[in-house]
Structure 1
Amino acid sequence: MHNESFSNRYEQAGVDIRRGYEAVELMKKHVASTFTKGVLSDLGGFGGLFELDLSQTPHPVLVCGTDGVGTKLKLAFALDKHDTIGIDCVAMSVNDVICCGAKPQVFLDYIALGRLEPTKVEQIVKGVAQGCKQADCALIGGETAEMPGLYQQGEYDLAGFCTAVVEKTKIFNNASIVEGDVLVALPSSGLHSNGFSLVRQIFNLDAKSENLSIFYPELGKTLGDELLTPTRIYVKDVLSLARSITIKGASHITGGGFFENIPRALPAGLGARIRKNDVRVLPVFSLLQRQGAVDERDMFNTFNMGVGMVLIVNKEEALQALGMVDGSYILGEVVASDKELELL
């Protein structure tokens, strides 16, 4: 296919369209591994086709999310490791839409590069496919754009877009949240995909990428391995819980940390009260705070601190939730307050 499609002049300008065709051939098996029964199209069309099964969803609502990976990509460049960064790309979108109770259906990715390297693109898409399988959604298309002069040699940008569906009557309803409800923490796998501009500054990674190879006993691994740990995807955990208990609200703890994200799930007049000693802070955050002499408030307002998702549930159902998700715990409670978040 496309064996007669090439342009000598375009190649002289830095774009070889044949590399794009090679990349597509390499990624096909990864994309196909994500296909669910609703997929009606193969890779290569002008649009991805997906047939929704709405037999159990009388009032369907589409929920869409889009995001990128941010400067975590610079660590993938430095380590020349590209097979997990796609998981982060998927996670950043699907973890957002699940905060409404919506099940991701399809995902699209966008990869922009200065020079298209087919095997590198395959590794990126391999990670995207893994993320899609973790979220139980289909990767039905995307775009790989070769743009010489816009990106430095060996660098690329990666973004994604997710469409999810939720029954209107089952959207998480934060208007039902009352004083006394509890916050359940679902643990993170590490930094996820936020705060890396500060991380890079603290460890001077732009000037000394070799610092990524330093082994830290408290981490049990090198700094690079820790920082590239993929973002945890919470779709299956949250949907499973929603079938058994009433989830009133959910917060994906991304950029802005606790202070920005937890209040987004609360109605006016109510706040969250959390005791710092109850937060199960992962070792990487203690290392960051010590290494960078970062104020405690800044830590909680930048990083997830070991909490990737917060669910708000009735106190009576909290124990059931803890029994269903490994590592989950009670983070705090909802209080009547004019303060959105009290960190005691």
Structure 2
Amino acid sequence: MSNTYKSAGVDKEEGYKTVDKIKTAVAETHNKNVLNNLGSFGAFYQIAGYKNPVLVSGTDGVGTKLKVALDSKKYDSIGVDCFAMCANDILCHGAKPLFFLDYLACGKLDSEIAAEIVMGMVNACKDNECALIGGETAEMPGMYKPGDYDVAGFCVGIVEKDEIIDGSKIKNGHKIIALPSSGFHSNGFSLVRKIFPDFNEEFEGKPLYETLLVPTRLYYKPIHRLLEEIEVSGIAHITGGGLIENVPRILGDGLCATIDTSKIKIPSVMMELEKRGNIDRLEMFGTFNMGVGMVIVVNEKHAEKVLDLLDDAYEIGEITEGAEKIILN
């Protein structure tokens, strides 16, 4: 019997099935700026309506949250996570997402699972008025075990050059406002899995994996609603490293984010993790978002309007002067 690609572990037909399952839904994310269809070697996106456009890009994956999804056989939220981690990053600079591409690698391709993951991306793209214009599915036996998947992607957005948000306008006295997260988002799951080894245990009346797999919140709509009304000095996406590592990224020399942690609404699942794992509170704030998915910094005169415009936003501190970049009180 002669050798074939299939005998080596790669089933091209399953790849074709994946494309068939997703191509109609993917096309629904396209708009007049997408100039070609799925299947070309490259994807084309034309830019119109900007005076001095700057492209802003971001790439990310889902990390070991994937393990929770794979073990729980619940795949629909992972695609949302992948898109959100990229789109929320570029949003920190005021960029509107234009298009997204994904990369899916596995040991043995199952078109049903792959399609479910991509459909999460499709739904997230629709919610953010973004086109899913391409991707790559790689079946890699020997690199990944059957049943293993890895997901990554990248998003390209656009902003007028004179509207870029980079933290340079942040000044002493500006207010720090939190937008809540939807949970752990896609960070810290190596520690989560260590402390919560049984994803099926009951937590607050339902299997724990349902809480752990709540997808990363998408902030495009509330942030852009805000940008239409007021000038925002800085935005930080609170990902790996939590507030401790991410807020200082937007601060200039001599400025410090002074945060009152008693004001932060920490999710109950994070409190349970801290208690069960005997984890120091500072370690928690340096690993997880602790319930704060995005931080917005605004001039104190705009703070009240931000709270009026964004129902669930709340103030957690202010910018002060000092050598330290962040102080958690």
TM-score range, shorter chain: over 0.9
SS at match of 1:175: coil
CA contact (8 A) 1:15 1:146 kept: yes
CA contact (8 A) 2:261 2:316 kept: no
Counterpart code for 2:86: S
Q: For residues 215-244 of structure 1, what are the alpha-carbon distances to aligned partners after superposition, in whole Å with 9 as ceiling and x for unaligned?
A: 223xx5321000000000111111111110
Q: Say whether 1:154 aligns with 2:158.
A: no
What percent identity do the matched residue pairs reach? 48
Q: Say whether 1:33 aligns with 2:28.
A: yes
Between stretches 228-237 and 129-138, larger displacement belongs to: 129-138
SS at match of 1:311: strand
Counterpart code for 1:96: D
The equivalent of 1:234 in structure 2 is: 219
CA contact (8 A) 1:282 1:305 kept: yes
Q: For residues 61-111 of structure 1, what are the alpha-carbon distances to aligned partners after superposition, in whole Å with 9 as ceiling and x for unaligned?
A: 111100000000001110011111000000000000000001110000000
The equivalent of 1:3 in structure 2 is: none
User: Residues 117-266 of structure 1: matches in 2 within 5 Å?
Assistant: 117-203=110-196, 205=197, 211-217=198-204, 220-266=205-251
Which one of the candidate residues 75, 84, 106 is aligned to 2:77? Answer: 84
Counterpart code for 2:313: S
Q: Say whether 1:45 aligns with 2:40.
A: yes
Q: Give distance in 1, aligned partners of 2:166 and 2:71.
A: 43
SS at match of 2:76: coil
User: Residues 288-327 of structure 1: matches in 2 within 5 Å?
Assistant: 288-327=273-312
CA contact (8 A) 2:109 2:139 kept: yes
Q: For residues 307-336 of structure 1, what are the alpha-carbon distances to aligned partners after superposition, in whole Å with 9 as ceiling and x for unaligned?
A: 000010011111111112221100110000
Q: Give distance in 2, aligned partners of 1:338 and 1:70.
A: 33
SS at match of 1:230: coil
Q: Give distance in 2, aligned partners of 1:36 and 1:140.
A: 10
Counterpart code for 1:295: D
Instruction: Provide runs of 4+ in structure 1 moved above 2 Å.
Output: none
TM-score, structure 2 normalization: 0.97
How many residue pairs get matched? 328
TM-score, structure 1 normalization: 0.93
Q: Give distance in 2, aligned partners of 1:324 and 1:154.
A: 44
Deviation at residue 173 of structure 1 after TM alignment: 4.1
Which one of the candidate residues 7, 14, 30 is aligned to 2:9? Answer: 14
Q: Give distance in 2, aligned partners of 1:183 and 1:323.
A: 15
CA contact (8 A) 2:69 2:213 kept: yes
**Which runs of 5 or more structure 2 residues have no equivalent in the other structure?**
none
Q: Give distance in 1, aligned partners of 2:227 and 2:32.
A: 23
SS at match of 2:36: coil
Between stretches 110-119 and 27-36, larger displacement belongs to: 27-36
Counterpart code for 1:303: F
Deviation at residue 125 of structure 1 after TM alignment: 0.5
Q: For residues 266-303 of structure 1, what are the alpha-carbon distances to aligned partners after superposition, in whole Å with 9 as ceiling and x for unaligned?
A: 11100001111111111111111011110000000000
Counterpart code for 2:79: G
CA contact (8 A) 2:107 2:142 kept: yes
Counterpart code for 1:238: I
Q: Give distance in 2, aligned partners of 1:34 and 1:8.
A: 40
The equivalent of 2:88 in structure 1 is: 95
Between stretches 169-178 and 264-273, larger displacement belongs to: 169-178
SS at match of 2:37: coil
**Which runs of 5 or more structure 1 residues have no equivalent in the other structure?**
1-6, 206-210
The equivalent of 2:66 in structure 1 is: 73
Q: Give distance in 2, aligned partners of 1:290 and 1:323.
A: 35
Q: Give distance in 1, aligned partners of 2:311 and 2:83.
A: 22
Q: Give distance in 2, aligned partners of 1:337 and 1:131.
A: 40
CA contact (8 A) 1:105 1:165 kept: yes
Rate the CA distance shift 1:324–1:8 in 2: closer, same or farther, 3 A.
Answer: farther
Q: Give distance in 2, aligned partners of 1:197 and 1:145.
A: 24
Q: Give distance in 1, aligned partners of 2:170 and 2:70.
A: 44
